Structure 1
Amino acid sequence: MDDTIKVGQYIIVQRQNFTKLHKFSALDSTVTLGKEMVELKNIAGQNFFQTFKMKLIASGKKRLHELEICDNATNLKDILTSIESGSDNRNILDDGKSQSLSYEEIINMRQTLSDSKEIIGTIIANSNSFNQKTEFSQEKYIKKKEKKYFEFIQVRKPTLRLLTEIFYRQDPEKALGLRMDSLSQLISYSGVNSMGNYLIYESGSSGLVPAAFLNSMGDHGDARLVHLHPGNFPQMQAVYALNLTDHHLKRCSSVNIYSVLRQYYQGIEENVETLSQTESENEKMDIDESSRKRKLENDDTEDDNKPPKRQNFEEDENNEQQNEVPISDENSSNTLTDREEKKRKWQLDNDEAIRLFKEKFDSLTIVAKEDPFPIVKELLPFIHNGRPVVIFHACKEVLMECYTSLKNHNLLINVRLFSNFMRDYQVLPMRTHPAIQLQGNSGWLLVGYTVNHGITLN
């Protein structure tokens, strides 16, 4: 994929540790970062991971900035090299009088000075208690001011990891609590690669599951994906955010689960009805043929003495020629093309999904809010034997019931139920420890493998 930023693509704007997903829809589009508004017209044609400096062009409730290219961001830790630090913080009182600059003076300074290093340096120079703080406290103070006055941003290319982190940070419930560690294990157990056919059902993950599958399938290969969803329209935000090519997107057929299953089984019933109707018509034709022969034999014996009836063959030929309508190959091809164009996209996706249903799939993955067992039971006949089935749910009790039902019905073997616990560590000199605020588990995974359904397991 080209690393050049183009209009119409999704981008990730990063300011320090804060990341935001944004669609660069037009040259005059802007992105909001807290109280800052940033014009994006200068990023078109630049490379991803380029660093830009925000330049103030208008002030108000939300300050408006334009971007200019720069090579490196300012390192504010250099301020500490020329400042002494204290041994402890026991004598520091937070009485609100340690800063000699007023609020209006800081606002005016922010409008006149464009370099965050100068602004923070001036604030530190007018602080009465900064030199008394320990080195760790001084660094913490600078990081706090840096979040407010930092004027550098980086435009990054959307990746699956960044999208998962953004969705989980904004609202975990919108992604069903899927965290990067659970999503990576879900992809690993599903065995998705650049070959094969894969079936997924998801409801409410903002498109993270089909995006992860398409990302693992790659842009080259013959792998196909059928994405089942319960609503009228699929959630594809994460899929579109990856800026995949049209060829890549066409390998995914997003269809409504009720619509495609109804069409699949109706097609089977129609074939059965057509076959029975054809057999009855053949029997009827045999009966009519035998009766017609008997009638002809009787007519021949009765009409032997009658003169033959004169027929006007020329008139018959003229009538036939008038009734005939010439059909050329060009007209028939145009008719077929118009018919295909009128056919809706969801119908084409349904037809492609039904074709893959008949070929069967190499794995089944379910990420749903509802009880997954009825869905598994309905979709298992379309999975090859010895293939993985992976189910994710935020609630342990729901998967425990599904686990018991799968075991009782002998539908899967080697069934396991487990959860993940990812612990973040802060790794710094003399300060390596687990993160203070740890997240809980990111849902539960149930994994098993299909067997020959004609064999009853003990």
Structure 2
Amino acid sequence: MADNTDDDSLYRIKEGDYVVLKRGDIFKAVQIQPKKKVIFEKQWFFLDNAVGQLYSSTFEIVSGILQPQKPKNTESSSDAKEAGTDNRNIVDDGRSQKLTRDDIETLKEQGLKGQEIIQQLIENSSTFRDKTEYAQDKYIKKKKKKYENTVTILKPSCRILAMMYHGREPGKICHLRYDTLAQMLTLANIHAGSKVLVFETCAGLVLGSVMERMGGYGSVIQMYPGGGPVRAGVESFGFPAHFHDMLHEFPICHVNALLAGTLDTTAKDPSAASKQSSMAAEEEQNQPEAEQQGSPEEQSMETNSGADGGHNQEKEEREKRKEARAEEKKMKQEEKRKKLAAAAALLEGRNADGLVIASRFHPCPVLMGLLKFLSPSRPFVVYSQYKEPLIECYTKLKEQGGTVNLRLTDTWLRHYQVLPNRTHPVLLMSGGGGYLLSGTTVAMDRSKPAGSQREEEPAPKRLKLTDTEG
């Protein structure tokens, strides 16, 4: 029985969990915190009542408080059975609805819920019973979206978060669509126990998806540009603590030094040290003269009265704060050095099992540098919103050798409405899901010159773009 309760707790919402709110096709990632107001789709409410409920539960919002939605009443749907044969005699002139906007607002003030308001709209519509059964369902669905104050709480996953980012802020994830992300994880052969290199600027979505697929087993090395890694999307997954033990980080600017064997991980980072010294000098310069030397009033008081005890106490406090800041910077620098050394030790073996690249930077130099860390017969995949950078990568890889099974693909996705007697493609669809370059590394014979190896390989006559329907 204890095992069953433990399994059941995995599917229940707990305080501190990261969850995804859903209404229709709109998603939002939040954290469950006590007495914290959440605003979603122009409505505010508290998530306290969601604690202990099952994931994928739907709640009604009543005066800012979540209440579990009761099972739907099937009696109200019996009236909808009376339907017309076609809609040819229905004219949309705006006169079919007897209730005005003021009447609807009055119903809301009386405390009527969304389902009750919809029922009133149906009863006061002169054309509802003349519509076909499909048109009635469409009418009810449209009114539910407008008047029902419901929200569904979902457990975060790479598919849900990819849909959320693509629907709300596609620019943050380089317009990476969720079907393209799924193909990346498959083509890179992401699985538990492997060692994967990830270079991405998609707010941590690709990194979190790789970690989710690996299940906390193995190692992920995030190659990051700039001063530090960006992992906003990883937090939204709400991984357990042991998932972060497998995550390592390595700056992309030190790759060439690591390959050349000149990277010194025991010494302090010279770039960071120079930055900290310049920041300390700026802080001293920016300090007001009153703090450095004391104000004229304080100087006069010291000379006149000789009571400098308060001034000395303030000076000691400033020195203590400065020492605490210096100690904190030193600890952070030491921690960063340890992380750099641990990641460098993993990379020095050059035995990584996979490489995933998805960034706004030009992928060619990044790909050529990171491919050297892969073992032979290991997959790699590169994503780009545009095909021209990947064509350049394709040409460079063919010239250099060391890779096989190169494919440049364009993913295409279209949703279908699947309902009885009315299955058809949805009219609105995504314009494009980006492009993927995938391939496999091979062991090159270093005794032969690169030119002779290229001559043995048959040169491709033309570049083939294969369309894959998702």
Render the CA deviation track for 1:92-111: whole Å, top value 9, x for unaligned.
22222222222111101022
Q: Which runs of 5 or more structure 2 residues have no equivalent in the other structure?
A: 1-8, 266-327, 457-470
1: CA distance, partners of 2:53 / 2:250:
37
Q: 1:339 to 1:69 in 2, by over 3 A?
A: closer
Structure 1 residue aligned with 2:258, among 250, 264, 268? 264
Scaled by the length of structure 2, the TM-score of the pair is 0.74
Structure 2 equivalent of residue 399 of structure 1: 390
Matched, 1:349 2:333: no
Select between 142-151 and 170-179 the one with higher mean Cα deviation: 170-179
Structure 2 equivalent of residue 149 of structure 1: 147
Structure 2 equivalent of residue 230 of structure 1: 225
Q: 1:435 to 1:9 in 2, by over 3 A?
A: same
Matched, 1:30 2:28: no
Q: Return the offset for 1:387.
A: 1.3
Q: What is the SS of the residue equivalent to 2:239?
A: coil
Select between 388-397 and 110-119 the one with higher mean Cα deviation: 110-119
Q: Return the offset for 1:29.
A: 1.6
2: CA distance, partners of 1:51 / 1:251:
35
Structure 2 residue aligned with 1:210, among 184, 204, 207? 207
Q: Return the offset for 1:269.
A: 6.5
Render the CA deviation track for 1:381-418: whole Å, top value 9, x for unaligned.
22112211211111111111110111012142221111
Q: Give the AA of the match of 1:365.
A: V
Q: Return the offset for 1:52.
A: 2.2
Select between 90-99 and 155-164 the one with higher mean Cα deviation: 90-99
Structure 2 equivalent of residue 68 of structure 1: 67
Work out whether residues 11 and 55 of structure 2, in 8 Å CA contact, stay in contact via their aligned partners in 1: yes
Q: Which runs of 5 or more structure 1 residues have no equivalent in the other structure?
A: 58-64, 272-337
Matched, 1:448 2:415: no
Work out whether residues 113 and 119 of structure 1, in 8 Å CA contact, stay in contact via their aligned partners in 2: no
Q: Give the AA of the match of 1:356.
A: L
2: CA distance, partners of 1:109 / 1:339:
61
Q: 1:77 to 1:404 in 2, by over 3 A?
A: farther
1: CA distance, partners of 2:388 / 2:207:
25
Structure 2 equivalent of residue 188 of structure 1: 186
Aligned positions, number: 379
Q: 1:342 to 1:21 in 2, by over 3 A?
A: closer
Q: 1:83 to 1:122 in 2, by over 3 A?
A: farther
Structure 2 residue aligned with 1:85, among 83, 86, 92? 83
Work out whether residues 16 and 147 of structure 1, in 8 Å CA contact, stay in contact via their aligned partners in 2: yes
Q: Return the offset for 1:340.
A: 9.4
Structure 1 equivalent of residue 407 of structure 2: 416
Work out whether residues 76 and 117 of structure 1, in 8 Å CA contact, stay in contact via their aligned partners in 2: no
Work out whether residues 51 and 71 of structure 1, in 8 Å CA contact, stay in contact via their aligned partners in 2: no
2: CA distance, partners of 1:47 / 1:341:
42
Structure 1 residue aligned with 2:58, among 51, 62, 70? 51
1: CA distance, partners of 2:261 / 2:48:
53
Render the CA deviation track for 1:280-307: whole Å, top value 9, x for unaligned.
xxxxxxxxxxxxxxxxxxxxxxxxxxxx
Render the CA deviation track for 1:119-161: whole Å, top value 9, x for unaligned.
1111111122222222222211111100012233322111111
Q: 1:207 to 1:368 in 2, by over 3 A?
A: same
Pair member with larger Rg: 1
1: CA distance, partners of 2:95 / 2:329:
79
2: CA distance, partners of 1:33 / 1:75:
27
Q: Return the offset for 1:7.
A: 2.9
Q: What is the SS of the residue equivalent to 2:22?
A: strand
Structure 2 residue aligned with 1:365, among 323, 336, 356? 356
Work out whether residues 392 and 444 of structure 1, in 8 Å CA contact, stay in contact via their aligned partners in 2: yes
Q: Return the offset for 1:343.
A: 4.3
Q: Return the offset for 1:261.
A: 2.6
Work out whether residues 30 and 38 of structure 1, in 8 Å CA contact, stay in contact via their aligned partners in 2: yes
Work out whether residues 200 and 359 of structure 2, in 8 Å CA contact, stay in contact via their aligned partners in 1: yes
Work out whether residues 211 and 239 of structure 1, in 8 Å CA contact, stay in contact via their aligned partners in 2: yes
Work out whether residues 76 and 142 of structure 1, in 8 Å CA contact, stay in contact via their aligned partners in 2: no
Render the CA deviation track for 1:218-254: whole Å, top value 9, x for unaligned.
13x3x11111121323231221111111111121113
1: CA distance, partners of 2:329 / 2:203:
34
Q: What is the SS of the residue equivalent to 1:366?
A: strand
Q: Give the AA of the match of 1:240.
A: E
Work out whether residues 178 and 442 of structure 1, in 8 Å CA contact, stay in contact via their aligned partners in 2: yes
Structure 2 equivalent of residue 2 of structure 1: 10
Structure 2 equivalent of residue 119 of structure 1: 117
- What CA RMSD, in Å, does the superposition of the two structures yield over aligned residues? 2.6
2: CA distance, partners of 1:38 / 1:239:
25
Q: 1:407 to 1:267 in 2, by over 3 A?
A: closer
Q: Give the AA of the match of 2:365.
A: P
Scaled by the length of structure 1, the TM-score of the pair is 0.76
Q: Give the AA of the match of 1:37.
A: W
Structure 1 equivalent of residue 270 of structure 2: none
Q: Return the offset for 1:265.
A: 5.9
Q: What is the SS of the residue equivalent to 2:93?
A: coil
Structure 1 equivalent of residue 240 of structure 2: 245
Select between 172-181 and 243-252 the one with higher mean Cα deviation: 172-181
1: CA distance, partners of 2:355 / 2:391:
19
